[in-house]
Amino acid sequence: PHGDIAIYGTMVRMAQPWSMRYPLVDGQGNFGSRGDDGPAAMRYTEARLTPLAMEMVRDIRENTVDFQPNYDGRTTEPV
């Protein structure tokens, strides 16, 4: 309901090594700087999960996380 701006901002932060001790996103492109330079527009960047992030979600389908129906009941999401 709020668009993808909040998601992109969160992804940018997870790719910045000065924002997180262990970045969870491996970013390709301009993800900003420690100064006042903001990240590039979403269309100019690419991202993938880091090995640490992949390890964190490795067992998500092994019933280690409880799931509930999503807003319309067509799929499930973590509680």
- Indicate the SS3 state at residue 76: strand
Catalytic residue, candidates 8, 22, 44, 71? 44
Residue 16's CB: how many other CB atoms inside 10 A? Answer: 16
Active site residue 8: no
Q: Please, what is the Cα angle at 53 between 70 and 14, to 5 degrees?
A: 90
Q: Which sequence positions are flagged as catalytic?
A: 44
